[in-house]
Structure 1
Amino acid sequence: MSFKPRNSQPMKTLVLNHLRKHGNISPIEASAMWACRDLPKRISELRREGHPITVEYKRDDMGQRYARYSYDADAVRQAQQFQNKSFA
């Protein structure tokens, strides 16, 4: 994973592109890469737009709980297959 400057893209676009490419992200990673201070809000915006994003709560080595957000590519494939069958 490379750390790139924000490049004037909206934060939720950066998050969505990262999720599609890498599959998941945590708030610490988003903060380090783009100085994103409110990843849960960006995730909420993306979910409202219909993106299939799941959350799993984990614990780090020090016992701190954190969220890891994942893009559910299987849900996207299933929706596409359903649409293709519906129009056939």
Structure 2
Amino acid sequence: MPANATQVLWLTLYFAVLGWSGYEPIDLYTWVLEVAPAIIGLVLIVTTRRSFPLTPLLYFLILIHCIILMIGGHYTYAEVPLFDMIKE
């Protein structure tokens, strides 16, 4: 997959999860605090990508971390439904 296609795919996934995360979060203030680092990170990566390029693996790991932040912002980390089975 060419680099541009990969970038488009990752940005599409990023903004799709961001949009889902921002739609009726449990607590808006918590959502802003949790998602702000992901948005700041995206801005930094986009502005410095030519002068300070990272490896595709690192971009992928940053994307995964941003998705985790967005999921945690939507539900708050204590209420993520995926881990309800672990509590029991």
- Work out whether the TM-score is over 0.5: no
User: Higher helix proportion, which one?
Assistant: 2
Q: TM-score, normalised by structure 2?
A: 0.28
User: Higher strand proportion, which one?
Assistant: 1
